[in-house]
Amino acid sequence: MKIAIINGPNLNLLGTREPEIYGSKSFQEYFSELQFKYTDVELSHYQSNVEGELINKLQELGFSYDGIILNAAAYTHTSVGIGDAVKAIETPVVEVHISNTFSREEVRHQSYISPNAVGVIMGFGLRSYDLALQYFM
Ligand code: DQA
């Protein structure tokens, strides 16, 4: 089974960025743990700070992969284009957030991803990715 994790802007700084919200582990370290746990899954990870690159990646993987776990980060709340891409592809997308965006500023309460995601998992720290992965098992 082929599953991709796609991370949006500033998530390359996990570990040092606002650790009180996002924790102190780098995504690379967490990703290695996931690969170790899910040896049967062909798990890949892509991160970009650029909106169009995230759309390109969704289109590239979205007709052959079994699942995509998408944390579009701040673009979640602004990007009609990423929302449209999630709608356009065939691969089911689970929307993930590390923090509970509903417990934060109002600007984070809107999502352009949710209407076309199969589900949303948020607020469980990095474990949110693991919980999302379990959907595809
Ligand atoms: C986030 C929440 C977003 O509001 C924020 O812009 C992020 C990360 C999360 O995983 O909690 O960059 O998607």
Give the pLDDT confidence score for residue 104 in this predicted structure: 96
Catalytic residue among 30, 65, 75, 97: 97
Is 99 assigned a ligand-binding role in the annotation?
A: yes
How many domains does one find in the chain?
Answer: 1
Task: Give the 3-state secondary structure percentages of the chain, helix then strand then coil, rounded to 5.
Answer: 45, 20, 35
- The residue type at 13: L
Mean pLDDT, rounded, for 16-38? 94
Give the pLDDT confidence score for residue 54 in this predicted structure: 99
Domain extent, residue 50, equals: 2-135
**Spacing, Cα 41 to ligand 1 middle (Å):** 25
Give the mutation target among 94, 101, 109 for probing the ligand 1 site: most ligand atoms within 8 A of CB: 101
- Residue spans of beta strands (DSSP E) within the chain: 2-7, 42-47, 67-71, 93-97, 119-122
Give the pLDDT confidence score for residue 60 in this predicted structure: 98
CATH (domain of 78): 3.40.50.9100
pLDDT tens figures, 39-74: 999 999 999 999 999 999 999 999 999 999 999 999
**What is each CA distance from 43 to 24, 49, 102, 119, in whole angstroms?**
22, 21, 29, 19
pLDDT tens figures, 119-131: 999 999 999 999 9
